[in-house]
Structure 1
Amino acid sequence: HAGDGQPGTEFLRLDLRPPGQALAGRAQIQAQKFGARLAISRMVKGLDCSGHPYRLLLEDARAVAARAVVVASGARYRKLDLPDYERFEGQGIHYAATAIEARLCPGEEVIVVGGGNSAGQAAMFLSRVAQRVHMLVRAEGLAATMSDYLVQRIASTAAISLRPRSAITALGGTGLLEEVTWFDGPSEHSVTRPVRNVFVMIGAEPNTAWLEDCLALDGKGFVVTGRAADGTPLADTFASSLPGVYAVGDVRSGSTKRVASAVGEGSVVVQSIHRYLGGP
């Protein structure tokens, strides 16, 4: 065990199920307990990788030198360009379809926006509990953007209504989301339904602009790990193309975009840093 040698002191106590803000506060205290220096509200604007140690360029024009860097800057979910959209985020608009969100949907109509595999998997999952899943896509169909097995399963699921050439045009509700209006491609009419849960699954944009040309990125801008700059495989899953720079969580190409996965990757990468720095 780390730190003072007391069993379990490197773990957060979650026996009281604290809310998110309290949990973050506990994590901050825990990090400080083990000697971490926290620069609160200091945004990193760039990475200078021209020399070693690397230099993290901060928004206040100062810089921090580092022999090793962990990129955990995450990704921003793509959003719909609609009036009042931000007001309904967390009040009916979701970016993941897990058991938590499914508990909000029994016997109701829901909407899934998107035509990729994530949207297809969400539609299939929600069809188990929802009365009707309206799947809205801008394209003519799913074949070009979704795996065939999912296309076939969606087509054979009675609870899923695929609406090609369709898009949401308005959201309504006094506090929580209560109704949704969309242009329906097949009927070429506007449709309004009592929908209280919309799942927006149109991808995410990684927060990697600040990395400039220092690291290899995939076609969507996520950090490629496990491969050197020349493409040869690396033994470390989280190592980027730049020695001493690692990526974990949503910003990493091929990662599972879930909080639990990001936390797990963050804990594992510490061992990689120790090895790189020559620790025991």
Structure 2
Amino acid sequence: MSMKKPILFVIDDDQQVLRAVVRDLRSVYGKDYRIMSTGSANDALHSLAELKNKSETIALFLADQRMPDMLGVDFLKQAKEIFPEARRILLTAYSDTEAAIRAINDVQLDYYLMKPWDPPEEKLFPILNDQLEEWQSNHKPEFQGIRIVGYQWSPRSHDVKDFLSGNLIPYQWLDIESSDRANELVVSNGISVKNLPAVFFEDGTFLVNPDLREVGERTGMRSKASKPMYDVTIIGAGPSGLAASVYGGSEGLNTVLVEKRAPGGQAGTSSRIENYLGFPNGLSGSELSRRAITQAARFGVEFLSPQEVVDIDIKDDYKIITLHDGTTMNSRSIIITTGVDYRTLDAVDVERFTGAGVYYGAATTEAHACRDKDVYVVGGGNSAGQSAMYLSHYACQVYIVIRKNDLSSSMSQYLIDQIKATPNIAIIPETVVTRTYGDGNLDAIDLRNVVTGETKKVEASALFIFIGARPVTDWIKLNIIKDEKGFLETGRELLKYESFRKTWKLAREPFLLETCCPGVFAAGDVRSGAMNRVASAVGEGAMAIKFVHEYLAEN
């Protein structure tokens, strides 16, 4: 993305003078600066808030003192509130010299310039060169992109940040309690801090306390199906769903992928996956997701996100899919790849701080807020280990809390070795978190040793939870057989259920990844008996497409 040119803003009600100034400025500064001008101070003020929202930068104001709608000094005083770093020069006649001198103190005027300034090579350009050189020496370029203004410990702010980062959309976070820039944006746009977060887009528009679908639509994402019928609908964009979409699209199937939050699933939040085939240096979960989405799009796969499937109905072998917004989609087959969620921590008051110091996953989103603080990670799996490693680059100390006595039975050896070699990561074994404390945001937790029963209270700025694997199947109202934990049963495993023969009326047995509903498949972590590895999930997603072809050939 190319950087925007900083602006030289000229205000003078005398059109002849205005045209002359603009002509002179463009001839000398047009290559490096954008020249804006107006004959009305009020019009100029109205445009400043919009320029601020667009992350435009004003390097210098050149304002006439005597204007009918407002004195130049008064204009510069108000402009300073919106663009305090801009240099301020007042154009004056001899009779206005006294006002200009007063303005040096009143508005921290940088210079007053007497009319006329002929020749400009002697009386105008040297002065502007000095002012712009001074401005450049202190200038830090504005961030170009989406900005989020909110409270660090607000669950709604966390949701927006997590959504954008999960979808690989860069943004700048501005904490209303510590950022002058955040306060400038709120004040200049008349936003009540009670209604934060606010999301500012590059075109200068903004949304206040937005729904994630609104944010998604404004960033170019799609949540509406474009076709009346699909060959295969894939529900969930984790590794298995992404693989299924790539193979479905590449093999000519009319394919749509539906994801309620962001691609990648739990793997997408991993800061580093080091044991995935073909990447000797490892790669992040977000990078793997980005590559897969790009690959699927190249094969014509339609990606609907953020969008959520709430129901599936079957009519004459066609699958009717109801979405969260009430619309429906039609599909000849379905692959369910909704994966698993982390289990809710069983600790007193933990709900009070969810999104305000207590996070399920989200280590990459909130790591910057943990700089030089003590944080705790609950869980002994690879996701917990990868997050602890990532957090160790920011936090003062990272503690991994596990119920077992060591990590050997639940974490890959390469991660265990990395953790042992990281001085600011410590393991707290045979321990559980039983209570959380704080005033608005988390500041302490209780740790109980499961062997001795001893409980101690410790300071904690953040708690990242990576425990359990709860299948995301509660939304399925269709009569699909699940195991005792809620995972979807497939293939020959269905034969052990008495209810299976009552619903399955085909002469053949279910395909390996097919559920008890013909043409509805399950792949990846949501499936009973899955291996819970990224590579195996990818393999199952690809395999599911093979069975979709066989099913469609029958119908």
TM-score interval, smaller chain: 0.5 to 0.7
Q: Which amino acid aligns with 2:418?
A: R
Q: Is the 8 A contact 2:319 2:333 kept in 1?
A: no
What is the CA-CA distance between 1:86 and the residue it aligns to? 1.4
2:432 to 146, 167, 191: 167
* Counterpart in the other structure of 2:420: 155
SS in 2 for 1:134: strand
Kindly tell me: are residues 139 and 128 of structure 1, through their superposed partners in 2, closer, same or farther at Cα, counting changes over 3 Å?
Answer: same
SS in 2 for 1:83: coil
State how far apart, in whole Å, the 2-side matches of 1:25 and 1:255 are: 32
1:71 aligns with 2:336: yes
* Counterpart in the other structure of 1:83: 348
Q: Is the 8 A contact 1:93 1:200 kept in 2?
A: yes
SS in 1 for 2:215: helix
What is the CA-CA distance between 1:160 and the residue it aligns to? 1.3
What is the CA-CA distance between 1:35 and the residue it aligns to? 5.3
Q: Is the 8 A contact 1:97 1:126 kept in 2?
A: no
State how far apart, in whole Å, the 2-side matches of 1:33 and 1:109 are: 48
Kindly tell me: are residues 42 and 205 of structure 1, through their superposed partners in 2, closer, same or farther at Cα, counting changes over 3 Å?
Answer: closer
Name which structure has the greater RCO, CA cutoff 8 Å, separation 6+. 1
Structure 1 residues not aligned, in runs of 5+:
1-13, 59-63, 231-238, 257-264
Q: Which amino acid aligns with 1:107?
A: D
* Counterpart in the other structure of 1:23: 215
Q: How many residues align?
A: 234
Going by fraction, where is helix more abundant, 1 or 2? 2
Structure 2 residues not aligned, in runs of 5+:
1-168, 171-200, 230-306, 323-328, 494-511, 535-540
State how far apart, in whole Å, the 2-side matches of 1:142 and 1:32 are: 45
State how far apart, in whole Å, the 1-side matches of 2:488 and 2:526 are: 6
SS in 2 for 1:141: coil
* Counterpart in the other structure of 1:100: 365
State how far apart, in whole Å, the 1-side matches of 2:385 and 2:378 are: 10
Mapping 1:1-280, distance limit 5 Å: 16=201, 20-23=212-215, 30-31=223-224, 34=227, 43-44=310-311, 53=317, 67-71=332-336, 73=338, 75-184=340-449, 189-208=454-473, 210=476, 222=487, 240-241=513-514, 244-247=519-522, 251=526, 254=532
Normalised by the length of structure 1, the TM-score is 0.62
SS in 1 for 2:403: coil
Kindly tell me: are residues 223 and 124 of structure 1, through their superposed partners in 2, closer, same or farther at Cα, counting changes over 3 Å?
Answer: farther
Q: Is the 8 A contact 2:339 2:526 kept in 1?
A: yes
SS in 2 for 1:181: strand
State how far apart, in whole Å, the 2-side matches of 1:177 and 1:188 are: 24
Q: Percent of pairs identical after alignment?
A: 32
State how far apart, in whole Å, the 2-side matches of 1:156 and 1:224 are: 41
SS in 2 for 1:80: coil
SS in 1 for 2:446: strand
State how far apart, in whole Å, the 1-side matches of 2:339 and 2:443 are: 31
Kindly tell me: are residues 22 and 35 of structure 1, through their superposed partners in 2, closer, same or farther at Cα, counting changes over 3 Å?
Answer: farther
What is the CA-CA distance between 1:82 and the residue it aligns to? 1.8
What is the CA-CA distance between 1:205 and the residue it aligns to? 0.9
State how far apart, in whole Å, the 1-side matches of 2:365 and 2:313 are: 38
What is the CA-CA distance between 1:77 and the residue it aligns to? 2.2
SS in 2 for 1:178: strand
State how far apart, in whole Å, the 2-side matches of 1:175 and 1:123 are: 25
* Counterpart in the other structure of 1:11: none
State how far apart, in whole Å, the 2-side matches of 1:163 and 1:189 are: 13
Instruction: Choose 1 or 2 for highest CA Rg.
Output: 2
What is the CA-CA distance between 1:136 and the residue it aligns to? 0.8
Kindly tell me: are residues 148 and 73 of structure 1, through their superposed partners in 2, closer, same or farther at Cα, counting changes over 3 Å?
Answer: closer
Q: Which amino acid aligns with 2:433?
A: I
Kindly tell me: are residues 122 and 187 of structure 1, through their superposed partners in 2, closer, same or farther at Cα, counting changes over 3 Å?
Answer: farther
Q: CA RMSD in A?
A: 4.6
State how far apart, in whole Å, the 1-side matches of 2:371 and 2:470 are: 31
State how far apart, in whole Å, the 2-side matches of 1:274 and 1:112 are: 43
* Counterpart in the other structure of 2:237: none
CA offsets 1:86-134 (integer angstroms, 9 cap, x no match): 1211111112244322112111100011112221222122112211111
Q: Which amino acid aligns with 2:514?
A: S
Once structures 1 and 2 are overlaid, which stretch shifts more, 177-186 or 65-74? 65-74
SS in 1 for 2:224: helix
Q: Is the 8 A contact 1:47 1:212 kept in 2?
A: no
State how far apart, in whole Å, the 1-side matches of 2:309 and 2:392 are: 43
